[in-house]
Structure 1
Amino acid sequence: MGAYEVAKSVYVDAPPAQVRAHLVDFRQWRDWSPWEDLDPDLKRDYSGPTSGVGASYAWSGNKKAGVGSMEITHAEDQRVDLMLHFEKPFPAENEVSFELLPVDGGTQVTWSMRGVTKGLFAVITKVVPMDKFVGKDFEKGLASLKSVAEAG
C-alpha cells in the first residue's frame, strides 16, 4: 500500500466566490470536469442539498468513466473538501480538496487528491506515480474551470 498526493494549481481571473460556485454544486461540474465527457451515456444521480456540505453525486458509466460517488464534506470561502469513492474500475477512497486563495484580484486554485493505493494498483504506482494517472486530468479540469469561472 502506498500513500499519495497529487496537486495542481491555476490562477483564475475571478474572485474566490465566483470560482467556488462551480465547485459546491455538482451539477456545474458538467461544465468543467475532465471526466464528464468520458461517456456520453453517463448516468448521474444527485442527492442531498443542491450545493454545499452534504451535496452528493453518484455516477455510473462505461469502462473509462467507471462507477463512483462524491460528497462535499466541508465548504468555506477558501476551501472545499470532498470524499471521493470509486467502485470501478477499482475500489478506492480519496480525499479531494480545492483551495481558493485570493491573489491579485483573482484566485489561485489548487486541486489536490490524497489517498492510499491498494492491491495491484499499489504495485503499479510504485513504478508509475499517481500524478501520471490523474495529473493531466487535473490540469485539463483546472483549465476548463478557469474558462467557465472567468466567463462569469
Structure 2
Amino acid sequence: MLKKILLGVAVVLVALCGVIAMQPSTYSVQRSATFKASPDVAFALVNDFHHWSEWSPWDKLDPNQKVTFEGAATGMGAKYGWSGNDKVGEGRMTIEESKANELVRIKLEFIRPFESTSPTTFTFAPAAEGVTVTWKMDGTNNFMGKAFSLFVNMDAMLGKDFDNGLAAMGKVAEAETKKRAEALAAEKAAAEAAAAQAAAPVEGQPAPAGEQKVAAPTP
C-alpha cells in the first residue's frame, strides 16, 4: 500500500514538474499614461533616483528601508540600492542609458527574496496634452519563477503597481509644470511692469525730446 502511495506521489510530482517546465520562460509588463506636463519634468522624475520616493509604488511599503545612492548624480551611471522588509526585499538599479526627455533604460536587479535581473525602460513621447510615459519591464523565469507563475499573473500583479506609480508620477509632474508656468508668468508680469515704469516720464524732468510739446507762437 505504501509503495502505491509513494508511486502515486512520484507520478504527481513528475507531472507537476512537466507542467512547470512548459510555462513561459520570459515575461513582459508594460503600462502607459499621459500627463498634462512637459516632457522634461516627467523625464527628471525618472532620470534622478532621488525623485523616486515622490512617486514609486513600492517606496512606502517599508518607511524604514535602507537606501543608497552611488555613481553619477543623475543619468547614465547613477545607482540606487534598497534593503527592507519582506514586502520590498533587497535590490539595486543602475541607469545604463539616458536620452534627455526621450528614454531611461535601467538594469533592475533583485537580490532578495530571490535573485533575478529585469531590464526596465521608461520612454517619453510628446502628446497633445503634454507627455505620454511608458513603463516596461522584461524578465526571465527560471524553474522557481515558472512555478510561481502558475499561481500569480505577473502582468496583473506588477501592472497594478505600474498603474499606481504612473498615476503618482503624473500628479507630481503636473504640479511641477503648473508651478513653473506660474513662476514664468510672474516673471513676465514683473518684467513688463519694470519696462513700463522705465518708459514713464519722471515727475519734474522734461519729457524725452520726441515727446516735448512745442509752445504756440505769440501773435
2:117 to 79, 84, 93: 93
Gaps of 5+ in 1: none
Distance in 1 (CA, whole Å) between partners of 2:95 and 2:161 is 20
Match for residue 31 of structure 1?
54
Query: Aligned match of 1:84 in 91, 104, 108?
Result: 108
Q: Which runs of 5+ in 2 are unaligned?
A: 1-23, 177-219
**Counterpart amino acid of residue 48 in structure 2:** D
Amino acid at match of 1:132: A
Question: Is 2:96 the partner of 1:40?
Answer: no
The answer to whether the Cα contact below 8 Å between 1:15 and 1:105 also exists between their aligned partners in 2 is: no
TM (norm. structure 1) is 0.96
Letter in 2 for 1:3: T
Higher radius of gyration, 1 or 2: 2
Out of 118, 131, 148, the residue aligned to residue 142 of structure 2 is: 118
- How many residues are treated as equivalent by the alignment? 152
CA distance in 2, matches of 1:110, 1:61: 27
Secondary structure, in 3 states, of the residue corresponding to 1:21? helix
Q: What is the CA–CA distance in structure 2 between the aligned matches of 1:133 and 1:2, rounded to whole Å? A: 17
TM-score of the pair, normalised by structure 2: 0.67
What residue is the counterpart of 2:18 in the other structure? none
4+ residue runs of structure 1 moved beyond 6 angstroms? none
The answer to whether the 8 A contact 1:96-1:112 is kept is yes
> What is residue 30 of structure 2 aligned with on the other side?
7
Greater relative contact order, per chain length (Cα 8 Å cut-off, separation 6+): 1
Residues of 2 paired with 1:89 and 1:117: CA distance?
Answer: 15
User: In structure 2, what is the Cα distance between the partners aligned to 1:122 and 1:116?
Assistant: 9
Give the letter for the 2:133 counterpart: V
Cα-Cα RMSD:
1.2
1:127 deviation in Å?
A: 5.0
> Which structure has greater strand proportion?
1
Deviation digits for residues 40-67 of structure 1 (CA, Å, limit 9, x no counterpart): 1110000011100000000000000100
Higher alpha-carbon deviation: 124-133 or 87-96: 124-133
Q: Secondary structure, in 3 states, of the residue corresponding to 2:47?
A: coil
- What's the CA shift for 1:124? 2.2
Instruction: Report the equivalent of 2:14.
Output: none
